[in-house]
Amino acid sequence: MSRFDRELPFKTMYDPVPRVLTVNNEPSLTDQSQKASTEISNIIATYDKTGVLSHVNTHKPMYDDVSDISDYHDAMNRVTSVKQTFEGLPSKLRRKFGNDPEQFVQFMADPENLEEAVELGLWSSEILEPAPEPVPETETETASEPAPEPEKTAS
């Protein structure tokens, strides 16, 4: 008898579907303490009473001036640039900032840390020296006087 001789059952969509049952006797790992606060009927009932959806956001809004960032790509380029600059620092300096570029940026943005930044070699000492004040030009230097005429000699 070959394998092609046996009759294979022909299934249709009208055949009964075998039911599968899984029994789990282990304790549930789902946290049930927030069940009431996450049920949609309770959320809607609270909204009907107060008019506020309290579950949406519990954090204070943050506002920042990001007008100098034109788009997402520009913002990501700035983040990448700061990370590369920070990663280029010696490991001793990175350790001083907890290996966190954000702490480095906050340190560099604080004008009180300017002298320490110079000592660490992060900033040029020329910036600390006041720039020489420009000498104002006098009026006689700027006024254009006609050139003197050459003397005529008698010949």
Question: pLDDT tens digits, residue range 75-107?
Answer: 899 889 888 888 888 888 889 899 998 898 898
Is position 92 within any domain? Answer: yes
pTM of the model: 0.40
Is position 59 within any domain? Answer: no
Question: pLDDT tens digits, residue range 106-127?
Answer: 988 888 988 888 888 877 766 5
Is position 104 within any domain? Answer: yes
Residue 113 domain boundaries: 72-127
Is position 102 within any domain? Answer: yes
Q: How many domains does the chain have?
A: 1
- Residue 73 predicted with pLDDT over 70: yes
Is position 150 within any domain? Answer: no
**What would the mean pLDDT of 70-79 be, rounded to a whole number?**
88
pLDDT at 3: 65
Cα-to-chain-centroid distance, residue 34 = 32
Which 3-state string (H, E, C) describes the chain?
CCCCCCCCCCCCCCCCCCCCCCCCCCCCCCCCCCHHHHCHHHHHHHHHHHCCCCCCCCCCCCCCCCCCCCCHHHHHHHHHHHHHHHHCCCHHHHHHCCCCHHHHHHHHHCHHHHHHHHHCCCCCHHHCCCCCCCCCCCHHHHCCCCCCCCCCCCC
| Residue count of the chain | 155
Is position 78 within any domain? Answer: yes
d(CA 107, CA 113): 7
Question: pLDDT tens digits, residue range 128-145?
Answer: 555 566 666 665 555 556
Kindly indicate the confidence band of residue 14, based on its pLDDT and cuts at 50, 70 and 90. very high
pLDDT at 38: 84
Question: pLDDT tens digits, residue range 20-64?
Answer: 999 989 988 888 888 888 888 988 888 888 877 766 655 566 676
Is position 62 within any domain? Answer: no
SS3 (DSSP) at 8: coil
Is position 61 within any domain? Answer: no
pLDDT at 66: 73
